Structure 1
Amino acid sequence: MAKTIYDKIIDKGKEDAKVILADGLKKLEQLKLEKIEEAKNKQKDELKKQETLNQSKKQAALINARREAKKEEIKLKQALLKETVSDAVAKLDNLKQNELFDFVLKLVKEDNLSGKEVIYVNKKDYSKYLATFSSKKEGDLVELDKLNNALGKKYELKLSNKAMNLDGGFYIVSEKYDINHSYSALVDNFLAKLEADLNKILFSEVK
């Protein structure tokens, strides 16, 4: 029996469906392969990230270890330098007159004083400072003429006979400010500068 138009349409639909199904299966297989490849690539990326992270952690641990070692080294240097500075300061007590004169002159020049200040020392050092920096006799406020002449015309510094509680060195007093040149202050100032320099070394050298 001859096929009707309806049968032909049905047959054509079946053929088209087979083609569509076959094409769909191909696309599905291709998609599956792409997903598998994508999963593999993702896994590789994750492994690389983990490897990079582990490497970063290792690098960070290495830097931290170096920094800790540098800290210990600096701590040791600080202790040794503090001891050295303390020993050097202790030797200031034994300076000869000309050495003491040069030492005080250098510090006072750096202070950029007005010239009207009064200098205080401890009881033990008063006679030494008076003889070193003045040709005058002892008094309440004695002109430090030797020191003033070395500093220049504007200077009229005086030495007070009122003893100040210092471990050594001297203390400058004016109406507007005081300057502490005691031995302990000299050590503290030096070590503060040293600590700043050491911190720069710590954070610049450790890489």
Structure 2
Amino acid sequence: MSKSSIYEKIENKGAQDALEINRIGQERARELEETTLQEVQEEIAQMISKAERASEERIITRSTQIEQQARGRSLLRKKEIIKETFQAALEELKKLNNESFKKLVINLIKNDGLTGNEVIKVAKSDFDRFLRIFSSGKKVDNYYIIDRISDTYQLRLSPDALDIDGGFIVIGENFDIDHSYQSIISNAADYYETEVAKILFDGE
């Protein structure tokens, strides 16, 4: 075999090896490119997913805040309406006619469990009719005798009227009982507020 043939074979072999190396290199480059691209795409997808979750969480948080604020405003308004309702009841007490006023006073006094010798002080606005309805006008030691409620009581009406918003106060030896209209409504509000709320806002 001639030297030229040997050289040609070597050259051909070298060329084939170079082509194979180039092919393998290109394949590896494509694989690396595909792998890198896939990793980048996965990373981008994760970033988008995190951003979406964060956005959803912010929306949920803000929605919850708005809902809580709305509930707070609604609750405040409901309390104002309940307060206005009891205030209206107070105004109605001030407008009681004589018969209704008489029944109210008698019921309150009979439920107090009095000893019977207490002193009653009445609001200026109710003093004249209280005296007219519950006393014959007889006075002892400058007190009017309340002789038109019960024969078993020896209640006395103080001539010193009170500067209160209607009603009266029972003055006892050991304790006083506040039957001012404001106190009556305040006690009713404490006791009946839940029921009033149910009536006013039933179904809400």
TM-score normalized with structure 2 length: 0.57
Is 2:95 the counterpart of 1:91?
yes
Q: Which residue number in structure 1 is paired with residue 143 of structure 2?
A: 141
1:166 Cα deviation after fit: 3.5
CA displacement at 1:122 relative to structure 2: 4.4
Would you say the 8 A contact 1:125–1:168 is kept in 2?
yes
For structure 1, which runs of at least 5 residues remain unmatched after alignment? 1-28
Q: Where does structure 2 lack aligned partners over 5 or more consecutive residues?
A: 1-33
| % identity of equivalent residues | 27
In 2, the alpha carbon distance for the partners of 1:112 and 1:33 equals 89
Q: Does 1:101 align with 2:99?
A: no
The separation in 2 between residues aligned to 1:81 and 1:164, in whole angstroms, is: 23
- Looking at structure 1, the residues matched to 82 and 160 of structure 2 have their Cα atoms a distance apart, in angstroms, of 39
Correspondent of 2:175 among 157, 174, 177: 177
Deviation at residue 119 of structure 1 after TM alignment: 0.4
Question: Cα distance, 1:105 vs. partner?
Answer: 1.8
How much does 1:67 deviate? 3.1
Aligned to 2:49: 44
Q: Give the match for residue 58 of structure 2.
A: 53
- How does 1:2-151 map onto structure 2 within 5 Å? 40-41=45-46, 44-45=49-50, 47-72=52-77, 74-76=79-81, 78-79=83-84, 81-82=86-87, 84-92=88-96, 94-96=97-99, 99-122=100-123, 125-135=126-136, 137-139=138-140, 140-149=142-151
In structure 2, relative to structure 1, the CA distance for the partners of 1:162 and 1:47 (3 Å cut) is same
Residue type of the alignment partner of 2:93: V
| Structure 1 residues 112-169: Cα deviation after superposition (integer angstroms, max 9, x where no partner) | 44443210124664453234224562342344343234xxx5x443222333333432
CA separation of 1:177 and 1:89: change in aligned 2, threshold 3 A: same
Describe the SS at the equivalent of 1:146: coil
State TM-score, norm by structure 1.
0.56
Q: Is 1:142–1:160's contact at 8 Å kept on the other side of the alignment?
A: yes
**Partner of 2:31 in structure 1?**
none
Give the whole-Å Cα distance in 2 for the aligned partners of 1:174 and 1:143: 16
AA aligned opposite 1:175: E
How many residue pairs were aligned?
172
